[in-house]
Amino acid sequence: MNRAVALRIAACGLMGLGAALLIAALLLSTYTKGKISKVPLDIDTTLVSDGTGTAFDPASLLGERFIVDRDVPVAFQQQITVESPSNADVVTLQVGSTLRRTDKQQDNGLLLAMVDTVTMDRSSAMAVSSESNPGGAVQKPRAIEDDQPPTNIALPHDGLTYRFPFDTEKKTYPLFDPIAQKAYDANYDGEDDVNGLTTFKFSQNVGYDSEGKLVEPVKYASLYEDDADAQVTARAALWGVEGDPEEPITMGRYYAAERTLWVDPVSGTIVKSDEHAYHYYARDALRPEVTFADYTVTTNEESVESQVASARSERDRVALWGRILPITFTAVGLVLLVGGALLGSFSLRAESALIDPGLDEADHGFFQRDDAGEPVPGAEAKTEKLPAQRPTDLPPDRPV
């Protein structure tokens, strides 16, 4: 194999590799990015929010009157895990939520408890349902001493739940509230910095108007068969209602909430939340009489740092496959294409120099040719006769 052929093969190889890198860059920036921009299947986290509020004292159920304490410390905790069905298209999140008075020990301070399950599309983060899967469920409450496996009550979800979609937009999204069992608008409310991460801020009102006025509270949906916690009948003395202390008074339970969410727009991770929730009993929905829980909690710093780290990890993964590698492959591919083209051009010139029959005349004919223009053998080549040199040292008297 001569040098020209080797150069031509090398040029073809470089150009082929360059073209392959350009195709790979195109696929990474379109097809592959869409495949990796999905809700992860390995979510396993615990988020804690702290705050204060007005809360019912569970011990007063056995007393002469229901007691409601003010300015008590409360903690709201969410434990999020992935359950089945979860696959390439959908993911199912199970979220166990509890609200506790931290000034009480163990179950004496438990105010709220719920296990919510939702199946969502991994790309859009919207709740999905099918014939075999209603798209969501809540766990039926159990007594402390109950050792039977938990049972679920089907609760179809709508809209977003515990995450926003990748590439979150500056618009209004429907956000499902598992207590109200309904989706309410989460409105875009500007950008904000959370621990160095630029986030989109969304606000949602459930039962409140934009000015924080109670306008349309939600009647609490009990998870008990007898609606034990949604409607309570007790003596007027227990409620603290004036009149006959023995008169039975029935009150319904209502719920309203205001929340602000800080969302990473790239991954859709909710990195921080601020929530004010109001649970109360009343005979008239718009005239609260006995507060069960009226609290405001904010995600604590440890949970914020954990969520920010998770969002950054998702950002880095998307940036690697969606921007860094495509740019790198494009740049290297173009360099290889240009280099291959130049090397191919050089190989053609080299090959032409080897096969062009006129190249031996470039130095004005080093070889003798016959009348037909063909080179003649060296033995027949014409030679130049050198003139004889006259002797100059003969005696002067010697005739020449």
- pLDDT tens-digit map of 121-140: 999 999 998 776 777 899 88
Lowest mean pLDDT among 76-80, 142-146, 152-156, 311-315: 142-146
- Residue spans of beta strands (DSSP E) within the chain: 44-56, 68-83, 90-101, 110-121, 136-139, 152-154, 173-177, 182-194, 197-206, 218-219, 231-235, 248-263, 270-282, 290-299
How many angstroms separate the CA atoms of 272 and 169, rounded?
18
Distances (CA, A) of 236 to 55, 240, 242, 276, 368: 20, 6, 7, 29, 134
How many angstroms separate the CA atoms of 321 and 314, rounded?
11
Whether residue 357 contacts residue 28, with contact meaning beta carbons closer than 8 Å, is answered with: no
- pLDDT score of 359 more than 50: no
pLDDT average, residue stretch 100-118 = 89
The alpha carbons of the chain give a radius of gyration, in whole angstroms, of 42
Tell me phi and psi for residue 18, to 5 degrees: -60, -45
Q: Give the model's confidence band at 368: pLDDT under 50 very low, under 70 low, under 90 confident, else very high.
A: low
Whether residue 323 contacts residue 1, with contact meaning beta carbons closer than 8 Å, is answered with: no
**How does pLDDT run across 161-177, given as a tens digit for each residue?**
999 999 999 999 999 99
Whether residue 81 contacts residue 40, with contact meaning beta carbons closer than 8 Å, is answered with: no
- pLDDT score of 378 more than 60: no
SS (H, E, C) 301-326: HHHHHHHHHHHHHHHHHHHHHHHHHH
105 compared with 49, residue with greater pLDDT: 49
The letter for the amino acid at 12 is C
The mean of the pLDDT values for the chain is 84
- pLDDT score of 31 more than 90: no
322 compared with 136, residue with greater pLDDT: 136
pLDDT at 372: 59
Q: Which two tokens stand for residue 161?
A: 């739940």
How many angstroms separate the CA atoms of 250 and 236, rounded?
9
Q: Give the model's confidence band at 100: pLDDT under 50 very low, under 70 low, under 90 confident, else very high.
A: very high
- pLDDT score of 225 more than 60: yes
- pLDDT score of 143 more than 50: yes
Sorted by where each begins, the domain ranges of the chain are 1-36+313-340, 37-299
pLDDT average, residue stretch 145-158 = 81
pLDDT at 29: 65
How many angstroms separate the CA atoms of 70 and 55, rounded?
7
pLDDT average, residue stretch 211-220 = 94
- pLDDT score of 389 more than 70: no
Cα 151 from chain centre: 32
Using a 10 angstrom Cβ sphere, with 0-12 exposed, 13-18 middle and 19 or more buried, the burial of residue 339 is middle
- pLDDT score of 366 more than 50: no
Q: Give the model's confidence band at 376: pLDDT under 50 very low, under 70 low, under 90 confident, else very high.
A: low
Q: Residue 83's closest CA among 180, 150, 9?
A: 150
pLDDT average, residue stretch 173-192 = 96
